Homo-oligomer: A and B are copies of this chain.
Amino acid sequence: MTSPRDRSTPPADTAPRRLTIKDVAHAAGVSLTTVSHALNDRGYVDPDTRARVKRIAQELGYRPNLRAQRLRTGKTNSIAVFFSMPLAIAGGPARMGFMMEIVAAASEAAMRRNLSLVLVPPLAGANDFLDGLDIDGAIVIEPALGDPQIPALRQRGVCVVSIGRPPEPEPAIPYIDLQTTAMAQLWFEHLYGQGARRIALLVGAQPRHSNLETERVYRAFAADKGLPVLIRKADVHVGEAAGAAACRELLAEDPAIDAVCVPVDAFATGTMQALHEAGRRVPHDVKVVTRYDGLRAKNSVPPITAVDLNLEQRAVMAVELLFEHICGDTRHAMLPGPAPTLIVRASSVVA
């Protein structure tokens, strides 16, 4: 067993006295105003003096008092990413990979813009927390109809962009499109092309645009091809088990189902389990496709056909779009992002 060593308490962190522009002015032999103008590239300062002041400031290790600067300019240089669902949920983190891939890329993009990225979890009481949160902008991920976050943020004067189109009739906010219409077409055309004629849809119950639009495309596709409509909705908060249960219901309704489109990857894992238990071979008896190309799709046996969502690129675009809007540049209300492509794997193609 671990025996915690008898380490003495580490010394409290002590910050050295912070240098001020007075120190720089003294060392450079110029006025405070000159230092301020030189360092901020404002007002008129002789170019040689400006260069000398900057050099001396750097040599001394002077850093501007950002808090004072931010108070003056009203800018916080912080943006937040909001999660539209709890992360630590029963049955495992169903959308965690998807959201965390976005967060990881966004935090890097934010840093390149000298913005801090604050992570805001969806706890009860988040609105009180909002009052204490000093941010210029926020990114929300696939907002659902009636999510209270967006109005709460806008009421506080915070710029908001979303990844994934907000479902109507939510007020328009700038967004990075996930191209769900194109994605859904890819799924159904691929399954149809592989010979599937009894294609079921197992979709998330939350009223997000991607769920609503996938169902719309599915119904239109089925009507166009004269295929039966077989739909089940499941709660993402429950995760894999909800996917397995919904798949069992679909099999009970129509034992001849030959494909299941399961956009939520946690549901796809549950679907694979339910199909296996029911003695259906994937892909021979039933083909399966999903959306997020995470560990669940890649490490499944067989691996599951998924979509390249270019999440990293979309996360970077979201930070850039948010930055534009914070700076008052509101030209772009929507950016389509790269077109989705299918990553075809053994779950949907008979070798």
Q: Does A49 contact B (CB under 8 A)?
A: no
CB-contacts of A88-113 with B (<8 A): 88, 92-93, 96-97, 100-101, 103-105, 107-108, 111-112
Interface residue total, chain A, C-beta cutoff 8 A: 87
Residues of B within 8 A of A154 (CB): 13
Does the CB pair A96–B100 fall under 8 Å?
Answer: yes
Does the CB pair A9–B123 fall under 8 Å?
Answer: no
The distance in angstroms between the C-alpha atoms of A10 and B334, with both chains bound, is 10
Residues of B within 8 A of A228 (CB): none
Q: Does A195 contact B (CB under 8 A)?
A: no
Answer whether A97 and B295 are a contact pair too, CB < 8 Å, given A71-B68, A118-B78, A181-B2.
Answer: yes
Q: Quick one: which of B76, B107, B123, B156 contacts A111, CB cutoff 8 A? A: B123
Q: Quick one: which of B12, B67, B105, B299 contacts A295, CB cutoff 8 A? A: B299
Whole-angstrom distance from the CB of A302 to the nearest CB of chain B? 10
Residues of B within 8 A of A100 (CB): 96, 100, 103-104
Q: Does A34 contact B (CB under 8 A)?
A: no
Mask, A269-303, CB within 8 Å of B = 1, is 10000000000000000000000001110111100
The distance in angstroms between the C-alpha atoms of A21 and B299, with both chains bound, is 58
Does the CB pair A334–B172 fall under 8 Å?
Answer: no
Does the CB pair B119–A172 fall under 8 Å?
Answer: no
Whole-angstrom distance from the CB of A64 to the nearest CB of chain B? 9
* Residue among A3, A107, A119, A296 facing the most chain B CB atoms (10 A cut-off): A119
The distance in angstroms between the C-alpha atoms of A89 and B223, with both chains bound, is 43
Does the CB pair A333–B71 fall under 8 Å?
Answer: no
Residues of B within 8 A of A29 (CB): none
Q: Does A43 contact B (CB under 8 A)?
A: no
Residues of B within 8 A of A133 (CB): 116
Residues of B within 8 A of A117 (CB): 118-119
What residue in chain B is nearest A5 (Cβ atoms)?
B334
The distance in angstroms between the C-alpha atoms of A331 and B7, with both chains bound, is 11
Q: Does A252 contact B (CB under 8 A)?
A: no
Q: Quick one: which of B80, B158, B330 contacts A12, CB cutoff 8 A? A: B330
Mask, A108-140, CB within 8 Å of B = 1, is 100110101111110101100101111000000
Mask, A63-89, CB within 8 Å of B = 1, is 100111011000011101000000110
Mask, A310-351, CB within 8 Å of B = 1, is 001000000000000100101111101001000000000000
23 pairs, A vs B, C-beta closer than 8 Å: A1-B179, A1-B185, A1-B339, A9-B332, A10-B174, A10-B330, A12-B325, A16-B157, A67-B134, A68-B71, A77-B132, A80-B116, A87-B104, A93-B101, A96-B97, A96-B104, A107-B121, A108-B121, A111-B120, A111-B123, A116-B118, A116-B133, A295-B299
A residues lining the B interface (CB < 8 Å): 1-4, 7-10, 12-16, 63, 66-68, 70-71, 76-78, 80, 87-88, 92-93, 96-97, 100-101, 103-105, 107-108, 111-112, 114, 116-121, 123, 125-126, 129, 131-134, 154, 156-160, 171-174, 177, 179-182, 185, 269, 294-296, 298-301, 312, 325, 328, 330-334, 336, 339
